Amino acid sequence: MSLSIDMSHLHLPAPAFVAGVRVDRISQLQTLDAIEQIIALRRQQNDQLPCQQVVTLNPEFLMVAQRNNKFRRAINEAALVVADGMGIVWATRYLREPVPERITGTDLLPELARRCAAKGYRLFLLGAAPGVAELAAERLRTLAPGLLIAGTYAGSPVPNEEAEVIERVRTAQADVLCVAYGAPAQELWIYRNLSRLPAAIAIGVGGAYDFLSGRQQRAPEIMQRSGLEWLYRLYREPWRWRRMLALPQSALVVLLKGRGKS
């Protein structure tokens, strides 16, 4: 599903394609404006507007998308795909279709929470280990006073729990559904349930609750700004080394495939 509402006032350039995977050339502020507009529109239409998927694309996603067609389709058909990770920002620059900035799920979430607090929109935090979403919700309430947390639930991405999870979200009357099951599980979960998700926006946020809750520590600001957040994460969580090979691998894939759009 591509974005079914008019975003022409944002004057966005055509999306970039990196090895066949779409990335929108959008800033964090524009992303927040677009999300806010989608929520407002769905409320105006008495919840008739179908749920819209937002993807935060990093080099690991890019590598998985090379071999997993369903995952690639989920990304390319999403309402919004933002560049999460300096690897993606660099790739779009190399391909001369630069995105304006990096937008991580962890940075986006507090800003989104502030927008929701200002408008009375309701946020549901799904996923992560039991208890973590609750701690993240508490932190978000501090960062965004007045925020309405529609609900929190660890749950799991397994298909036979979907109906129950969706019922919880419906009862909670959420506008925004954040899903922390890690990639590609969270994107595939959202994609296959999109037509029945009772929210305006569903966004995969990866480890965002772990960072917000203080369970994981984020890289110092200077490392984040210089594109070295991955190095810090490797130091904190060395077991990730195999997954992090995605960074050099994705650089190679970009060199070999370029835009890769058929």
What's the min distance (Å) between Cβ of 127 and ligand UDP? 4
Q: Which helix (H) or strand (E) holds 179?
A: strand 176-180
Least distance CB 37 / ligand UDP (angstroms): 27
- In whole angstroms, the minimum distance from the beta carbon of 15 to ligand UDP comes to 22
Q: Decide if residue 129 touches ligand UDP (CB under 6 A).
A: yes
State both tokens at 240. Answer: 């990730």
- Minimum distance, C-beta of residue 72 to ligand UDP, in the bound complex (Å): 16
Other Cβ atoms closer than 10 A to 157: 18
For ligand UDP, the closer CB: 20 or 127: 127
Residues 179-238, interacting with ligand UDP (CB under 6 A): 180-183, 206-207, 209-210
Closer CB to ligand UDP, residue 121 or residue 209?
209
Stretch that binds ligand UDP, among 3-11, 43-51, 125-133, 252-260 (CB under 6 A): 125-133
Question: Nearest-5° angle of CA 31, CA 36, CA 42?
Answer: 130
Stretch of 33-41, 68-76, 175-183, 188-196 lying at the interface with ligand UDP (CB under 6 A): 175-183
Whole-number Cα distances in Å, 11 to 26, 28, 30, 34, 93: 10, 14, 10, 12, 19
Q: How many angstroms from the chain centroid is the CA of residue 143?
A: 19
127 binds ligand UDP, rule: CB under 6 A:
yes
Q: Is residue 74 part of the contact set for ligand UDP (CB under 6 A)?
A: no
Instruction: Using the rule CB under 6 A, give the single segment among 15-23, 69-77, 123-131, 249-257 that binds ligand UDP.
Output: 123-131
Q: Which lies closer to ligand UDP via its Cβ, residue 87 or residue 207?
A: 207
Minimum distance, C-beta of residue 9 to ligand UDP, in the bound complex (Å): 32
Cβ contacts of residue 232 below 8 Å, gap of 6+? 218, 219, 220, 223
Q: DSSP 3-state assignment of 248?
A: helix
Identify the three-state secondary structure at position 27: coil
Q: How many chain residues bind ligand UDP (CB under 6 A)?
A: 13
Residue 86 as a binder of ligand UDP (CB under 6 A): the answer is no
| Spatial distance between the Cα atoms of 260 and 18, rounded to a whole number of angstroms | 7
- Judged by CB, which is closer to ligand UDP: 117, or 205? 205
Check binding of 83 to ligand UDP (CB under 6 A).
Answer: no
Piece of 2-10, 17-25, 124-132, 248-256 that binds ligand UDP (CB under 6 A): 124-132
CA separation for the pair 1, 195 (Å, rounded):
10
Name residues whose C-beta falls within 8 Å of residue 225's C-beta, 6 or more positions apart in sequence.
none
Cβ burial 191-206 (10 Å sphere, 16+ → b, else e): bebbeebbbbbbbbbb
156 binds ligand UDP (CB under 6 A): yes
Please spell the DSSP secondary structure of 72-123, one letter per residue: HHHHHTSSEEEE-SHHHHHHHHHTT---S----HHHHHHHHHHHHHHHT-EE
Considering the complex, what minimum distance in angstroms separates the CB of residue 134 from ligand UDP?
13
Contact residues for ligand UDP, defined by CB under 6 A: 127-129, 156-157, 180-183, 206-207, 209-210
